[in-house]
């Protein structure tokens, strides 16, 4: 049995996702060919499913910087919100969502970006000062 590639999405899923993807920006001046949208989406799914860091993305899945740039581009364009809304709508049609019973829970905390300041050094005791003067 051939090893499956866990990052590949089925054609059925891609048919639902593809219409929601924002159009690519124009590069009238040329440049490198743009990474295929499906390949970029599959790499994002792989990152989200595994929880790995962007820079740990295997090269065969895609270049981590390219995939991350595309992720940010699509986030700014509202792709993920549209994908979430489409998924909710489809589930609501299939099984029905009881919206009056929905709840949200979470914790928000401010975490410092820099380490806490170091305390000032302890002053020497008078006896130690006198002893060092004699030596």
DSSP string, 23-39: PPPP-TT--SPPPPHHH
Output the CA–CA distances (angstroms, integers) from residue 57 to 22, 103, 116, in the order listed: 23, 34, 33
pLDDT of residue 69: 94
Residue 105 lies in a domain: no
Structure tokens, 80:
């993920």
> What pLDDT shows up at residue 1?
47
125 in any annotated domain = no
Q: Is residue 42 part of a domain?
A: yes
Q: Answer yes or no: are the C-beta atoms of 7 and 41 closer than 8 Å.
A: no
Q: Which of 8-17, 64-73, 99-108, 110-119 has the lowest mean pLDDT?
A: 110-119
Q: Is residue 109 part of a domain?
A: no
Q: Is residue 103 part of a domain?
A: no
Residue 91 belongs to domain spanning: 11-24+33-96
Spatial distance between the Cα atoms of 70 and 45, rounded to a whole number of angstroms: 13
Q: What percent of the chain has pLDDT over 70?
A: 80
- pLDDT confidence of residue 133: 60
Q: Cα–Cα distance between 47 and 52 in angstroms, integer? A: 6
Domain count, the chain: 1
Q: How far apart are the first and last CA of the chain?
A: 81
- 130 is a domain residue: no
Measured distance CA(73)–CA(90) in Å, rounded: 25
Name the percent of the chain lying above pLDDT 90: 40
In a domain, residue 71? The reply is: yes
Residue 60 lies in a domain: yes
């Amino acid at each position: 049995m051939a090893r499956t590639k866990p990052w590949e999405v089925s054609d059925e899923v891609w048919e639902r996702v593809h219409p929601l993807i924002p159009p690519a920006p124009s590069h009238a001046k040329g440049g490198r060919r743009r990474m295929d949208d499906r390949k970029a989406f599959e790499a994002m799914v792989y990152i989200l499913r595994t929880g790995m860091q962007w820079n740990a993305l295997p090269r065969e899945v895609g270049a981590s910087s390219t995939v991350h740039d595309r992720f940010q581009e699509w986030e700014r364009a509202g792709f993920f919100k549209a994908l979430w809304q489409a998924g909710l709508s489809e589930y609501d049609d299939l099984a029905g969502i009881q919206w009056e019973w929905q709840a949200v829970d979470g914790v928000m905390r401010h975490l410092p970006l820099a380490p806490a300041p170091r305390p000032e050094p302890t002053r020497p005791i008078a006896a130690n000062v006198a002893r060092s003067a004699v030596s």
